[in-house]
Structure 1
Amino acid sequence: MKQALDSLQRSVIVVVFVVLVICVSWQVITRYILGVPSTITDEIARFLFIWLALLGGAYTYGQGRHLAIDTIARSLTGRNRLIVEACITVLVAAFAACVLVWGGLQLVFQTLSAGQISPSLRIPMGYVYCAVPISGVVILCYAVSQLITLARGRLPDAITQDVPPVE
């Protein structure tokens, strides 16, 4: 499951990043070379950056490269290490479920029901905000994968980078 999610995440992130670079480049060309700035590229770039940041953050969590204070966890070995890592993963999953998925869905539904649309593109802002619950679901998938690995008595690959194996 994790490998398929990793592959999908990488593909989506690369596509969004490429489109973002093209969009920003076009904005620069139209503004400074053609002298007629594009009215929609600024908004497109802003929305793409939101999606890139949230999906990139979820991918980073899945790869174990997120910002973490892991001094205590790294100092432990064996069963104690597994327990601490499982507790941390459960806390991350709870945050993702409550704040990103549940709160994000509330934001999306409220925005869609209010009829808020973007100024230039005239698209419903709820579609832009869908990045929040989607990234939360991705983080939950990674957390479940990590918890399964921990339940089997092993540290997930994302955690074991540059760490000796659990005894």
Structure 2
Amino acid sequence: MILKCIDAISEFTGKLCAWCLVAVGFFITFEIVMRYVFNAPTIWVDEVSRILQVWVVYLAAAYVLKHREMVTIELILRNPRSLWRKLAESLAILVMFLFAGAAIYFGFALWLHDTLAGHTTDTYLAPPKWFTHAPVWVGNALLVLQGLAQLVRVWTEELPEDDILEGAH
């Protein structure tokens, strides 16, 4: 039940990220039309697009891990049922926890400081910095949750037949 809940969150955020990228594409197209057709550039497209892209990068990581699309090298450990493969995957996830944990810890501290201080960005729109710093710790927290789910799966569940037949990861 908990694994399915974590998977659902990762799935939702992944699809949300895809729609955010569609929005970014629309915003940039809008900016091009406004700038070169109407000679009336906007002041918001660049900043809003950048903020959305930062959110996408961090939120999509859990989705990518859920779908087992992280970069892997399977030259030696092709058999997903072998003990060595399970150990290697577990080690990779544990190393990921170290980096994600550091990002959560320091990202949350920065986010909390800027939130309590009421800092804003030094731009014309001046959105609050908590909004631009939040994706770091939120996205990494989701990545850790999905990593925990994947770690449980490595040791308790059978991999899909496609993974075993193709040697895919």
Q: TM-score range by the shorter chain?
A: 0.7 to 0.9
Go from structure 1 to structure 2 and tell me whether the alpha carbon gap of 1:153 and 1:17 turns closer, same or farther (over 3 Å shift): closer
Q: 1:95 aligns with which of 74, 92, 99?
A: 99
Q: TM-score, normalised by structure 1?
A: 0.82
The one of 92, 108, 123 equivalent to 2:111 is 108
After the TM superposition, which residues 125-140 of structure 1 pair with which residues of structure 2 at under 5 Å, given as runs?
Answer: 125-140=129-144
Question: Residues 62 and 139 of structure 1 are in contact (CA less than 8 Å); yes or no, is this contact kept in structure 2?
Answer: no
Matched, 1:45 2:49: yes
| TM-score, normalising length: structure 2 | 0.81
Amino acid at match of 1:34: F
Deviation at 1:139, TM superposition (A): 0.8
Change (3 A) 1:151 1:106: same
Q: What are the within-5 Å matches in structure 2 for residues 38-77 of structure 1?
A: 38-74=42-78
Corresponding residue for 1:84? 88
Residues 153/51 of structure 1: CA separation in 2 closer, same or farther (3 Å cut): closer
> Which of 1 and 2 has higher RCO (CA within 8 Å, sep 6+)?
2
- Give the length in aligned residue pairs: 162
What 5-or-longer segments of structure 1 have no aligned partner?
none
**Structure 2: gaps (5+ residues):** none
CA distance, structure 1, for counterparts of residue 64 and residue 38 of structure 2: 38
> Which residue of structure 2 lines up, in the alignment, with residue 147 of structure 1?
151
Please identify runs of 4+ aligned residues in structure 1 that moved more than 6 A: none
Q: Which amino acid aligns with 2:53?
A: F
Distance 1:24 1:127 in 2: 21
Q: Please say if residues 59 and 135 of structure 2, whose CA atoms lie closer than 8 Å, have aligned partners that are also in contact.
A: yes
Change over 3 Å in CA distance of 1:72–1:133 after alignment to 2: farther
